[in-house]
Structure 1
């Protein structure tokens, strides 16, 4: 028998498994789950989202005494590693009737729809911004070229003023800079 290094991959499982195994974890109460994580539209094919791995799993044993989450893997079929989910075979406590679930789902949908934004209205411009935008829209290519000529002349004047060196080597009101070499001398003790 040859040993391969490949990990086994998850395989398709039958939708309804009949097993006597039951998880040792406490029963899953339907009232504790969000109503959007339960699907009871067709009670004979009820499904819910597994708390551990987040996948939709059918509920087995609807007509029996014990209802459980179907055994399942955490990964996708034929893609991920075959790791058995901890939420498999977990008992389900039906503390929620179908009309109660339907009402809770309707309330959750209403609440979620009230949180979503309706229409985003553009913010009105201030009068100054409005004037600026109108002035830009009214400008022509010739007007922009004339504005650039004026700006370039101002830039040239500013550069010329920066290059000029003030008269004299020191500011008028400042002390003069010492020119003789300073050395550190120790006092004789």
Structure 2
């Protein structure tokens, strides 16, 4: 494809000025960091979690004498003001090899998996809830019938009191209240 005058071209962008001097903070030693905060799977693009801002940061200068953290900001991209992290350009000391890191990571995973709970314990009941649940468990269909039979005399007495006509005069206005229960009959087919 030929380039024509109508095709857009990329605008010249200013280059980042990287400082040559390292941070005044003491160097980070890989052996003192948790193995889960280091990623050495691709040694040429090694990254670790910054101890100050807790973001993953690339380690530069793998082929040079001094390895440092990439200059980075503390906040998220495109949010508020970009503040330079104080651990930018901090030196990194490689005091462990990649196989040692892998072994430390495997040990950390094994230890963490042994700490996690495997059984979920039920929440303790209050005494009232415990009594209610025990009473429900003890009730059988025969027990429920016996409970109903024990209540029936009291229900019958309450019905008799409801049917009784109160003493005194009948209301002067309005229809009479039926005292008998109506049972509608279905028409014959």
User: Normalising by the residue count of structure 1, what TM-score does the alignment of the two structures yield?
Assistant: 0.59
Q: Does the residue aligned with 1:101 lie in a helix, a strand or coil?
A: helix
Aligned residues: CA RMSD: 3.5
State how far apart, in whole Å, the 2-side matches of 1:118 and 1:45 are: 37
Contiguous gaps of at least 5 residues in structure 2: 1-14, 126-130, 159-189
| Number of the residue aligned with 2:114 | 114
| 1:39 is aligned to 2:39 | yes
Alignment of 1:73-92 (within 5 A): 73-92=73-92
| Number of the residue aligned with 2:166 | none
State how far apart, in whole Å, the 2-side matches of 1:67 and 1:17 are: 18
> Relative CO higher for 1 or 2, CA cutoff 8 Å, sep ≥ 6?
1
Distance 1:130 1:63, change over 3 A: same
Cα offset, 1:18, TM superposition: 5.3
| Number of the residue aligned with 1:99 | 99
| Number of the residue aligned with 1:26 | 26
Cα offset, 1:136, TM superposition: 4.9
State how far apart, in whole Å, the 2-side matches of 1:54 and 1:17 are: 24
Contiguous gaps of at least 5 residues in structure 1: 1-13, 154-189
CA contact (8 A) 1:23 1:88 kept: yes
State how far apart, in whole Å, the 2-side matches of 1:45 and 1:80 are: 29
State how far apart, in whole Å, the 2-side matches of 1:137 and 1:121 are: 28
Q: Does the residue aligned with 2:62 lie in a helix, a strand or coil?
A: coil
Cα offset, 1:129, TM superposition: 7.4
Q: 2:137 aligns with which of 87, 111, 134?
A: 134
Cα offset, 1:58, TM superposition: 0.4
| Number of the residue aligned with 2:177 | none
Q: Does the residue aligned with 1:132 lie in a helix, a strand or coil?
A: helix
Cα offset, 1:81, TM superposition: 1.9
State how far apart, in whole Å, the 1-side matches of 2:50 and 2:63 are: 21
| Number of the residue aligned with 2:53 | 53
Which consecutive segments of 4 or more residues in structure 1 shift more than 3 A? 16-19, 128-131, 135-140
State how far apart, in whole Å, the 1-side matches of 2:107 and 2:119 are: 23
| Number of the residue aligned with 2:62 | 62
State how far apart, in whole Å, the 2-side matches of 1:68 and 1:117 are: 39
